[in-house]
Amino acid sequence: MARILLIDDEVSIRQTLKEILEYEKYEIEEAANGAEGLKKIESQHFDLVLCDVKMPKMDGLELLNAVYEKSIDIPFIMISAHGTIDTAVEATKKGAFDFISKPPDLNRLLVSVRNALDRSNLVAETKTLRKKVSKKYEMIGSSNTLTEVRETISKVAPTDARVLIMGENGTGKELVARQIHEQSDRNKAPMIEVNCAAIPSELIESELFGHEKGSFTSAIKQRIGKFEQANGGTLFLDEIGDMPLAAQSKVLRALQESKITRVGGEKDIKVDVRIIAATNKNLKLAIEKNEFREDLYHRISVIKIQVPPLKERKEDIPELVEKFLSDIADEQGAKVKMIDKAALEQLQSYSWSGNIRELRNVVERLVILSDEKITANDVKKYAE
Ligand SMILES: Nc1ncnc2c1ncn2[C@@H]1O[C@H](COP(=O)(O)OP(=O)(O)OP(=O)(O)O)[C@@H](O)[C@H]1O
């Protein structure tokens, strides 16, 4: 049941509104002025505040300011008598959800209350979803090498510097890219990912820059490319070492001039994109073999982050295993499976050529195949 705080200095108005709202099954708490309202807001949970504009001690606008200054996130509907409409309008500019005039029209009041509550439910849901997403991309591990990576991320994230992330398969390069994007001012816009190794070379330009209708046989519709999709946000070029040379020169131009042209198109389109690239290849070697453009390498590698392989940070394994056990239990809606110390030590003795991705797969296998508690024997049996 939604809880509503009703703040008005006129007892009769409070009484009427309370009766109406209680009839609609809302739970009502009252306050006679802004100061009293503020105390209640600070000490209790409310889903909505209905607040008179003109009151002694602290008026409605002052209360609204005080609540938002304290970063308390709660919708307000202002109630204004004749002569205070301007102030009520000002309150909506400052963030109040709506205002209604006195004497309140019953239908208008109930619609506004319902809308305000729906909106705050949506806001709460979005927050939970965001938390879930950021939990998914959480970087686990407190080894020195990973701590250094984390420190570099927080230094470079707020800048627009291009970052090249290097490391073996499955070490968490994508996770690093996500963290940089999430900690940057671009996090309201999307991070768009392109796996340069997975796209056939004849399609990669259209994938990156888009194409105009009819520009090649299968181009039956106009298509917006990844650069344009990432406008205002981040473009993550994964496996950039596998990008064909022809596409490399076009990407170079896009980076130099901050504009692109769709395949088959004529006009230049300005784009504001931060580039993060990742590779498991040795790009210096690829340059020597004429497989990668040196000028592009220098453009994308303003900051370099080397993600260490798991065998160099085995001390992270117990923490990672714990996190995977709890994620898997969440996914399966089951109890978290226990693991004994010897089993963890056994896991730490391997070299993990597939890195963290491989470790996660092994943990999943162990959860499925082991009995109540995962033992060293299970690890020997199922992980090798
Ligand atoms: N530090 C970490 N904490 C928790 N999970 C991690 C960590 N590092 C990697 N992972 C998980 O391991 C898997 C592989 O990570 P990711 O895809 O980021 O690696 P990658 O280096 O980009 O791999 P590839 O080169 O194969 O694309 C993902 O499921 C990721 O969530």
Mean per-residue pLDDT, 326-349:
93
Element (H, E) at 5: strand 3-7
Mean per-residue pLDDT, 282-291:
96
Q: How far is the CA of 358 from the centre of ligand 1 (A)?
A: 10
The answer to whether residue 220 scores a pLDDT higher than 80 is: no
**Tens-place pLDDT, residues 36-88:** 999 999 999 999 999 998 888 888 889 999 998 888 889 999 988 867 778 87
Check residue 92 and give its pLDDT. 84
The model's pTM: 0.72
Confidence of residue 181 (pLDDT cuts 50, 70, 90): very high
Beta strands 76-80 and 98-101, pairing class: parallel
The answer to whether residue 349 scores a pLDDT higher than 80 is: yes
Check residue 296 and give its pLDDT. 96
Atom 23 in ligand 1: residue holding the nearest Cα? 170
Tokens linked to 106:
């019953």
The answer to whether residue 171 scores a pLDDT higher than 80 is: yes
75 Cβ inside 6 Å of ligand 1? no
281 Cβ inside 6 Å of ligand 1? no
Q: What gap in Å lies between CA 121 and CA 124, rounded to an integer?
A: 5
Mean per-residue pLDDT, 311-321:
96
Q: What gap in Å lies between CA 98 and CA 247, rounded to an integer?
A: 52
Beta strands 259-260 and 303-306, pairing class: unpaired
pLDDT, averaged across the chain:
91
Tracing tokens 């024997």 back to the chain, one arrives at 377
Check residue 213 and give its pLDDT. 83
The percentage of residues in the chain with a pLDDT greater than 70, rounded to a whole number, is: 99
**Tens-place pLDDT, residues 235-286:** 999 999 999 998 899 899 999 999 999 988 889 999 999 999 999 999 999 9
Q: How far is the CA of 85 from the centre of ligand 1 (A)?
A: 56
Q: How far is the CA of 356 from the centre of ligand 1 (A)?
A: 6
Check residue 72 and give its pLDDT. 85
Atom 30 in ligand 1: residue holding the nearest Cα? 172
Mean per-residue pLDDT, 329-337:
89
Tokens linked to 3:
């809880």
Mean per-residue pLDDT, 362-376:
93
Closest CA to 218 of 200, 228, 206, 226: 206
Tracing tokens 């299968």 back to the chain, one arrives at 218
Contact partners, residue 204, CB within 8 Å, separation at least 6: 196, 243, 244, 247
The residues that bridge with 31 in the sheet, in sequence order, are 7
Asked whether the ipTM of the predicted complex exceeds the cut of 0.90, the reply is yes
SS3 category, 290: coil
The answer to whether residue 323 scores a pLDDT higher than 90 is: yes
Q: How far is the CA of 258 from the centre of ligand 1 (A)?
A: 30
Check residue 80 and give its pLDDT. 85
Tokens linked to 287:
């340059």
Better-scored residue on pLDDT, 206 or 383? 206
Structural domains of the chain sorted by starting position, each given as residue range(s) with its CATH number in brackets: 3-132 (3.40.50.2300), 137-308 (3.40.50.300), 311-383 (1.10.8.60)
Element (H, E) at 192: strand 191-195
Q: How many CB atoms lie within 10 A of CB 136?
A: 10
Q: What gap in Å lies between CA 164 and CA 281, rounded to an integer?
A: 12
b/e per residue, 324-351, with b = 16+ CB within 10 A? bbebbeeeeeeeebebeeebbebbbebe
Element (H, E) at 162: none
